[in-house]
Structure 1
Amino acid sequence: MTDAALDSGTGRVVLVGAPLGNIGDASTRLREVLAAADVIAAEDTRRLHRLAKDLDVTISGRIVSYFEGNEERRTPDLVEALRGGAVVAVVTDGGMPSVSDPGYRLVRAALDAGFPVSAAPGPSAVTTALALSGLPSDRFCFEGFLPRTGSGRRSRLRELAAEPRTLVFFEAPHRITSALQDFVTVFGDRREAAVCRELTKTYEEIRRGPLGELAAWAAESGPRGEITVVVAGAPAGPAERPADDELRAEVAGREAAGTTRRDAIQAVADVYGLRKRDVYALVHTTQ
């Protein structure tokens, strides 16, 4: 989008891709939009001011706070600004707006009201982590944040257990250890994955390996910062059924790692394409 388009007097929304952490990733268009927009809807206004200072950009437009807690309430006001001919830029803490960040509601409302929406594309944690993971990237599925509770996470993961595409998730640092254990519970400890931490920042770290190893690493190290998890898709068809003793041992191993017996039995049944009641009967057979 050119400066002329920004100054045309036609109301429009511009989604602005902000750096994930390295200011050197900021684009020229990012600078242009921040400087020329009539309204900037920012996920964190303090971070926006810091970004503008780092970029040596003077913001002349009105800045409004626009985050998950007020997104629904603020969207009608922003649509009114569009009706007045304003260019409304949306910027999040990092990456592209509306991708597990504020933006979607305004995009939908603007389109429904007949206003154009465009983007000044920029960095994305989703595609950056996918490219760095070393896992297949020709087909992938972005799942955003998993449910916060263990039971909710495991339920969602069971829905994805047979998904053949590479899976990409966001996760909070204080939940990453329990989340990885839930991955092990549902997907098994041998599924390949990558934990991508603090992408593009000074302490960027990429850990690759089987889920069991990554869960053990997280439990020991307690990783911090913004985290993206990439998990290999399910192999075609269920895994070959092992011997009865191995099935029992796999259930016992999951229990020893903190999984309930019920969830461990369900997970093993899912991995090998078995009926849950058959695995249950096998586990409870007297040796």
Structure 2
Amino acid sequence: MKLTLVSTPIGNLNDVSERMRQAFESCDIVLAEDTRVFRSLLNKIEIDRPGLRVLSFNDHSQDKLDFYIEQISNSQFPILVSDAGSPIVSDPGHILVKEILARGGEVTSVPGPSAVTVALELSGFAPNPYTFFGFLPRKKGEISNKLKVASEQGNTSLFFESPHRIHSTLKQISQEFPEANICICRELTKKFEEAIHFKAQDFRDELVTAKGEFVIVIDWPKSNSSNLAASGEVAKFAQAYLDKQTPKNLAKLIGNALGRKTQDVYQELTGK
């Protein structure tokens, strides 16, 4: 049993690779996030497969994994696709991949464009390490919790967001993390692609057109409290290390650090 993951264009049909095209021409069954979107893609890139079997595999399909595993097992060249980009990133494909591997199957990939890596490239923020959180929650309190977790990690953070929520989300970020550096990427790889940079506290609605698909990239401000915590941690370990030293070794360490004679330091430490 072998499944091939095929990443699809995220907006620009010129990103269709030769390997992607070959997979679409040769596969005998497709598991697609939306069957209509996949057939539309085939039509746009002029691949005629009227008899190709295309099944829907989406967020509601995990209760029928046995059915999909059976379809894959009985196929020569099954592929998994999403509407755009990787079928694993912010899509339910990982559930299927995990199950196939657990049953001794094999998974391979035909890679392609990713909104995550494109946004990271355009942001100019530190790429290592970074964390991708997928779509933000809908409720304000849950958004706050997610942002708090991300800021405490301190990594460059990426989130997907919808056009009807982008302004309210950015207002919340500006209120809770005014010093954060923001890059908003929209319509990636398309004609009207944008990467808008600003400090969170400077956000206003007119900065960002609420149309298209969005990736929010955040460079978090360095926290003084985090630095103090780190310093306290270092001091704690240093004290624990020093407590394990004999007076003689400790005198030598201090003497070397201060440029003093070990014997003089030893006498001060021990009173001998």
**Structure 1: which amino acid aligns with 2:14?**
G
**Partner SS state of residue 127, structure 1:** helix
Asked if structure 1 preserves the Cα contact closer than 8 Å seen for 2:181 and 2:221, the reply is no
Note the alpha carbon deviations across 1:16-39, whole angstroms, 9 max, x for none. Answer: 110001000011111111121121
1:32 to 22, 33, 42: 22
Matched, 1:193 2:182: yes
**Partner SS state of residue 160, structure 2:** strand
**Partner SS state of residue 174, structure 1:** coil
CA RMSD of aligned residues (A): 2.0
Note the alpha carbon deviations across 1:175-218, whole angstroms, 9 max, x for none. Answer: 111111222233x22211100011011221111111122x3135
Asked if structure 1 preserves the Cα contact closer than 8 Å seen for 2:4 and 2:107, the reply is yes
**Partner SS state of residue 97, structure 2:** helix
Matched, 1:223 2:214: no
Aligned to 1:64: 55
Query: What's the % identity of the aligned pairs?
Result: 32
**Unaligned ranges ≥5, structure 2:** 228-272
Aligned to 1:159: 149
Q: Within 1, Cα distance between the matches of 2:199 and 2:221?
A: 13
Q: Within 1, Cα distance between the matches of 2:159 and 2:10?
A: 16
Q: Within 1, Cα distance between the matches of 2:57 and 2:205?
A: 36
Asked if structure 2 preserves the Cα contact closer than 8 Å seen for 1:38 and 1:87, the reply is yes
Asked if structure 2 preserves the Cα contact closer than 8 Å seen for 1:140 and 1:167, the reply is yes
Note the alpha carbon deviations across 1:226-266, whole angstroms, 9 max, x for none. Answer: 100100034254389xxxxxxxxxxxxxxxxxxxxxxxxxx
**Unaligned ranges ≥5, structure 1:** 1-10, 241-287
How many residues align? The count is 227
Counterparts in 2 of 1:238 and 1:216: CA distance versus 1, 3 Å:
farther
2:112 to 105, 122, 140: 122
- TM-score normalized by the length of structure 1: 0.74
Q: Which has the larger radius of gyration?
A: 2
Superposition map of 1:1-287 within 5 A:
11-59=1-49, 60-68=51-59, 70-186=60-176, 188-213=177-202, 215-217=203-205, 222-235=209-222, 237-238=224-225
**Partner SS state of residue 34, structure 1:** helix
Asked if structure 2 preserves the Cα contact closer than 8 Å seen for 1:19 and 1:26, the reply is yes
**Partner SS state of residue 104, structure 2:** coil
